[in-house]
Amino acid sequence: MNNERRLTEGNIFSSLVRFALPFLGAAFLQQLYGFVDTLVVGQFAEDSAAGLSAITTGAQLIYMVTTLVLGLGTGGTVLIGQYLGAGKKDEIRHTMGTMFPLFGIVGLVISVLLICLAGPIVSIMQVPEAAVADTKTYLIICGAGFLFVTGYNMISGMLRGLGDSRTPMILVAIACVINIVLDIILVGPVQMGVAGAAVATITAQAVSFIMSLFMLRRRKDYPLEFHLKNFKMRGEQNRLLLKLGAPIGLQDFLIAMSFSMIAAFVNRLGLSQSACVGVSNKVTGIFMLVATAFLSTIAAMAAINMGNNQPKRALQVLKYGMILSFAASAVLAIIFEVFPGQILGIFTSDPDVIEQGILYTRSNAIDIALVSAVFAMNGFFSGCGHSAFSLTNSMIATFCVRVAGTLVISLLPGTTMFHVGLAAPAASVVQIIIQSIYLASGRWRKGGVLDSGEDPEALEAAPEENESDTSGGS
């Protein structure tokens, strides 16, 4: 119970920082996966141009389907966290037992689709002819091992729901080292090219899954007995997992899809403009890792505190989490605004791409700071059991503002990349306005996973009464 007590009692600021740092480390290491694959293939593959095209396209597609699993994993984090806060040990075990067959089915379906539809997918993506074979190979190999990806993310969600963000980071670090070593060996001396990079990635994920399974079995808090009878889908837990996780997964999947649509709109402006968006988004993706880490942290901590009947403390988690995330993200946004040419130059030496990228950054970089507020509130609402609201809000901003705005701006005469870059911060502002209205309404207090039907005012008063009657035990 130590993790639960640490997150429901004591200093919120220090708890946030301790819990968020492993999330940030894990997010950074996961980003490193893609960089290593790209770097090694670019340096050692026989046809580096075709290999880079294949691995970029393939990795983007794998990321899109992985977001569905990540969403379900976050749903598991929230549900287990709320049960943990409420002290419902049996429900935690039932949730874990339900997650195994549920995630197994999802992973198997995605795996079969990737293998069977690799050809049509490559055609739809209009992959250059020289990269078609490698892209198919990458998708088939990653599809064959996708169950490992699903399993690892499932157990990571369980562990984070139990208040442990450190173990998933350690597992990702180990997997990252394995991936780097195998990448160098298989793509270099063995000369397997893109296939080698795919095998390295899936092998690393398999090791992560096996180790995470081993660590889960050894946990002393709420151990799940590994008997076949315990691994079955229970109606209530299955419903709640889908209610919480499906909106998050669908939201991330559609957002990833929207970036592909935006790239298509920008392509009509020219090659340099198209390239600058890709490079700039790579940089902002790295800088937004802070916001991503706090999203997950706030979701987990809010879930545990809502389950422990402490909505006031959950709101404090949002407050301090948003302050920390915004402060760090604002610094990164300012750095990108002040030194755009130097930062973009790390990824490309093409002067035209850098010139267009500087224009794009001048209007787009502010979104790094704005997104930190968006992500913080999305994490909070998800932790309170209102992930459907986050999905609706994100889709309105993403498709009605960002995507539609980019399309309209790209069609206007005299459009520059500065104008194109305005669409993203505009979408974030719309999201923040809608989120703020919903937060002020107080609806986040009610209708959650463990909602008892009590009056919100009584819920908020409960923690204070408990604290005056006890010495702080949970």
* Separation of CA 314 from chain center: 21
- DSSP characters for 121-187? HHHHTT--GGGHHHHHHHHHHHHHTHHHHHHHHHHHHHHHHTT--HHHHHHHHHHHHHHHHHHHHHH
Residue 465's pLDDT band, with cuts at 50, 70 and 90, is very low
Residue 25's alpha-carbon distances to 28, 246, 284, 320, 368, in angstroms, are: 5, 25, 17, 20, 18
Least confident interval from 172-176, 277-281, 305-309: 277-281
Which of the pair, 149 or 187, is modelled with greater confidence?
Answer: 149
Residue 146 has pLDDT above 80, yes or no: yes
Q: How far apart are the first and last CA of the chain?
A: 9
Tally the C-alpha atoms within 13 A of residue 469's C-alpha that lie toward its C-beta: 7
pLDDT in tens, 359-379: 999 999 999 999 999 999 999
Least confident interval from 69-78, 90-99, 314-323, 462-471: 462-471
pLDDT in tens, 336-362: 999 999 988 877 777 888 888 899 999
At 327, list the tokens: 């402060």
Q: Under 8 Å CB-to-CB from 233, ≥6 apart: which residues?
A: 98, 101, 102
Mean pLDDT, rounded, of the chain = 82
- CA quadruple 166, 170, 173, 175: dihedral positive or negative? negative
Long-range contacts (CB closer than 8 Å, 24 or more residues apart) made by 216-225? 216/155, 216/158, 216/159, 219/162, 221/1, 221/2, 221/3, 221/162, 222/84, 222/89, 222/92, 222/93, 222/162, 224/93, 224/96, 224/97
| pLDDT score for 222 | 55
Q: Under 8 Å CB-to-CB from 451, ≥6 apart: which residues?
A: 385
Which of the pair, 178 or 56, is modelled with greater confidence?
Answer: 178
Least confident interval from 46-55, 227-236, 413-422: 46-55
Is the separation of the CB atoms in 241 and 100 below 8 Å?
Answer: no
Which of the pair, 260 or 193, is modelled with greater confidence?
Answer: 193
Is the separation of the CB atoms in 292 and 22 below 8 Å?
Answer: no
For 283-308, b/e burial (b = at least 16 CB within 10 A) is bbebbbbbbbbbbbbbbbbbbbbbbb
Residue 46 has pLDDT above 70, yes or no: no
Averaging pLDDT over each range in 51-55, 155-159, 256-260, which range is the top one? Answer: 155-159
Q: What value does the CA radius of gyration of the chain take, rounded to a whole number of Å?
A: 22
Backbone angles phi, psi at 391, to 5 degrees: -60, -50
Instruction: Tell me which residue of 294, 320, 303 sits closest to 374, measured CA to CA.
Output: 294
State the virtual CA torsion across 58, 382, 288, 316 in degrees, nearest 10: -160
- For 397-424, what is the mean pLDDT? 89
Helix (H, G, I), strand (E, B) or coil at 264: helix
d(CA 104, CA 155): 12
| pLDDT score for 447 | 62
d(CA 192, CA 194): 6
Could you tell me the pTM of the whole model?
0.76
Helix (H, G, I), strand (E, B) or coil at 420: helix
194, with CB counted inside 10 A (0-12, 13-18, 19+), is buried
Helix (H, G, I), strand (E, B) or coil at 3: helix
